[in-house]
Amino acid sequence: MCMIYFRLYSVGGRDGSSCLSSMEYYDPHTNKWNMCAPMCKRRGGVGVATCDGFLYAVGGHDAPASNHCSRLLDYVERYDPKTDTWTMVAPLSMPRDAVGVCILGDKLYAVGGYDGQTYLNTMESYDPQTNEWTQMASLNIGRAGACVVVIKQP
């Protein structure tokens, strides 16, 4: 009998005073949270999705907006749960905070977000095979903090 094993990951975020680089996972079989290797960059407002067994952390910000040194990020990191390591991959075409992220087919999509002045209507896709981002069709309305999901059509 083959047992399917799932984990729930919590990536980055804020603790009230600073942005975090930490990641942990919940194991439903033991009912415990366990620490993983931290991301290369600390960040809140990060978009996260999985593709081909890897976890991707996309964009975000590195300090609360009240901090005058806060920066919006174009960084993208890939986590390999088999080796518990993070690797930087190609950056977004522009910094995106509160970006919606999902997988459609074999590509990762970054949808909308906030660039520090504007709620973005732009979208780009990432191809893990070529390590490149490509501009896609824009949303009709700029938005940040939106959840993006894929629904298979019959």
The residue whose two tokens read 């949808």 is 111
Any domain includes 20: yes
Please report which confidence band the pLDDT of residue 4 belongs to, taking 50, 70 and 90 as the band edges.
Answer: low
Neighbours of 94 (CB within 10 A): 15
What confidence tier does 102 reach under pLDDT thresholds 50, 70, 90?
A: very high
Tell me whether residue 145 is in a domain: no
What's the structural domain count of the chain? 1
- Chain-centroid distance of CA 123 in Å reads 14
Q: What is the pLDDT of residue 2?
A: 60
Q: Give the total residue count for the chain.
A: 154
Which range among 56-60, 63-67, 87-91, 115-119 shows the weakest confidence by mean pLDDT?
A: 63-67
| Percent of the chain clearing pLDDT 90 (strictly above) | 85
Rounded CA-CA distance 20/13 in Å is 6
Q: Which domain holds residue 47?
A: 8-135
* 141 inside domain: no
pLDDT at 144 (0 to 100): 95
Residue 16 located in a structural domain = yes
In a domain, residue 85? The reply is yes
pLDDT (0 to 100) of residue 1? 58
Instruction: Check whether 86 has a pLDDT greater than 70.
Output: yes
Q: Let me know if residue 21 belongs to a domain.
A: yes
Q: How many CB atoms are located within 10 Å of the residue 14 CB?
A: 16
**Domain assignment of residue 146, yes or no:** no
Report the pLDDT value the prediction gives residue 107, as an integer from 0 to 100: 96
The CATH number that applies at residue 58 is: 2.120.10.80
Q: Is residue 40 part of a domain?
A: yes
